[in-house]
Amino acid sequence: MSLRIVVTVKYVPDATGDRHFADDLTVDRDDVDGLLSELDEYAVEQALQIAEAADDADVTVVTVGPEDAKDALRKALSMGADKAVHVEDDDLHGTDALGTSLVLAKAVEKAGYDLVISGMASTDGTMGVVPALLAERLGVPQVTLLSEVTVEGGIVKGRRDGDSATEQLEASLPAVVSVTDQSGEARYPSFKGIMAAKKKPVEAWDLSDLDLEAGQVGLEGSYTTVDSAAERPARTAGTIVKDEGEGGKQLAEFLASQKFI
Amino acid sequence: MAEVLVYVDHVDGAVRKPTLELLTLARRIGEPVAVALGAGAADTAAVLGAHGAVKVLTHDASEYADYLVVPKVDALQAAVEAVSPAAVLVPSSAEGKEIAARLALRIGSGIITDAVDLEAGDTGPVATQSVFAASFTTKSRVSQGTPVITVKPNSAAVEAAPATPAVSELSVAFSAQATGTKVTGRTPRESTGRPELTEAAIVVSGGRGVNGSENFAIIEALADSLGAAVGASRAAVDAGWYPHTNQVGQTGKSVSPQLYIANGISGAIQHRAGMQTSKTIVAVNKDAEAPIFDLVDYGVVGDLFDVVPALTQEINTRKG
């Protein structure tokens, strides 16, 4: 039987750009170029490796986001994913993590899955909670923050490097997995992959396709409210000295003046 | 007075510092009620009481160690049902955020992660967050349900507030999902004798300029002279010079110490995301144009192989 792998990916503002908030205190997505969240590339890579090791598997990438988010899907398809789903709806604007997990859970169920793979966090919100929320909503095991992952005989196994210990984990499929940037370098799309991606199917779903209503998502359905967002004041210029043999001593002097030594 | 649940992060009864910080923050909102789970849970009561916990709810079962995350969510949910708190505070570790998220979903509440400050507001706690690689500061509230908030280490000073907590056992019924993900092996991290990276008051980091794992010895020597934790940039970790658990940055750990010393680190946005909120920032780098110098309170343009050992020696001399 075919192993159905769904990868959830996010289209995010480029972190090297000048990121801002819009007037409604949501992330301004018009001001900065977007791209596939770097941390999701690792999820696509692991999905492809698991699919390649299986007898029969297919990889579907799913994203929730505006029109431009198709770019993130194209990137994943050009890496080697088989097909894509784009959930797009004007009412999704301002959706929080809980709402995102609701939309993703519905989309993943509609797509059909044995294994969901996500990145460890998005590079914009950086909450890192969507994989756990997805597992809770789907009622399947969460096998998250893996630096190594394998799937064999309906069992997913992985290694999780925690703060105080490294753990070996194991769960039966279906399951939700998330992988860290230590799981293995993501492949670059080949020219052939880029050309092939143009012909791969991208399904477009809106809220009604997922039996969801506007009030359940977006700013209206959000469980949190942002009251203010202020740019951090620029740091006052510090003292910079050139080392001409005394740099270490000068630095010690500074640390002593600040009572660190 | 309203009660505030505080999830206790401990290892065999030894409470970690971020939990004590949470007790300080919890007292701004109400009376702290601590929830300690797993082996050694009952041993936490004295230190939690010394920091203001009026009640300590404990529960020990093998499920907490044998299965991932969900048993702890079940227990925290039981505590919410028993206490009806004004808020639930959880340390912002990777696991803490996962526990908090699942709890919030179950109890129909909003969640805020990685708060760096917390105040009582007219309609519940107001959380300060530092976002977009610490270039923006936001203030947010949970608008539905019991606020579930995770707080970053070093967000508050630990304050003693002696209380004599009522210690009682929490009654927990594990859910069907509790045993879904089995922990089949656990290798505790070997202690380096240095403070935990995210909790340390001083962090000394090395990057590409350190140029080899063997050279990290000079970074460690500086750290030891200051009683500091050792961090590494992604470049140094990807090169295999230092373990990933010590990585500071967007894909590693976020640190906010009193003093951060960056050695041979250029200061790419991904690294800045993990250390920009440090109170005092110092850098040593050969390249006068390195972006890290835009952040520093004090910078030395020079070869770290000259400057760092000289600094270490000077510190050790001054300490006598």
User: pLDDT by residue (tens digit) across B248-259?
Assistant: 998 889 899 999
State pLDDT tens for residues B178-236. Answer: 999 999 999 998 888 999 999 899 999 999 999 999 999 999 999 999 999 999 999 99
Q: Is the peptide bond before A174 cis (omega within 30 degrees of 0)?
A: yes
Please tell me the predicted confidence (pLDDT) of residue A244.
95
More confident residue, B85 or A30: B85
- Whether B244 and A145 have beta carbons less than 8 Å apart is answered as no
Phi, psi of B184 (to 5 degrees): -90, -10
Confidence band, pLDDT 50/70/90 cuts, at residue A1 = low
Nearest CB to B184 within list A136, A169, A222: A169
Question: Percent helix, strand and coil across chain A, each rounded to 5?
Answer: 30, 30, 40
State pLDDT tens for residues B143-156. Answer: 999 999 999 999 99
Does A155 contact B at CB distance below 8 Å? no
- Residue A229 CB coordination number (10 Å): 19
What is the overall mean pLDDT for chain A? Answer: 94
Does A215 contact B at CB distance below 8 Å? no
Longest dimension (CA), chain A: 70
The answer on pLDDT for B115 being more than 70 is yes
Q: Say what percent of chain B tops pLDDT 90.
A: 90
Best mutation target, A122, A124, A127, to test chain B (most B CBs within 10 A): A127
More confident residue, A236 or B48: B48
> Across chain B, how many H-helices and E-strands are there?
9, 17
- Chain B residues in contact with A226 by the CB 8 A cut-off are 138-140
- Chain A residues in contact with B144 by the CB 8 A cut-off are 223
Please tell me the predicted confidence (pLDDT) of residue A64.
96
Best mutation target, A24, A31, A126, A138, to test chain B (most B CBs within 10 A): A126
- Mean pLDDT over B53-67 rounds to 98
The answer on pLDDT for A29 being more than 80 is no
Please tell me the predicted confidence (pLDDT) of residue A18.
81
- Mean pLDDT over A27-51 rounds to 91
What is the overall mean pLDDT for chain B? Answer: 95
Does A145 contact B at CB distance below 8 Å? yes
**B82 Cβ contact partners less than 8 Å away, ≥ 6 residues apart:** B57, B170, B171
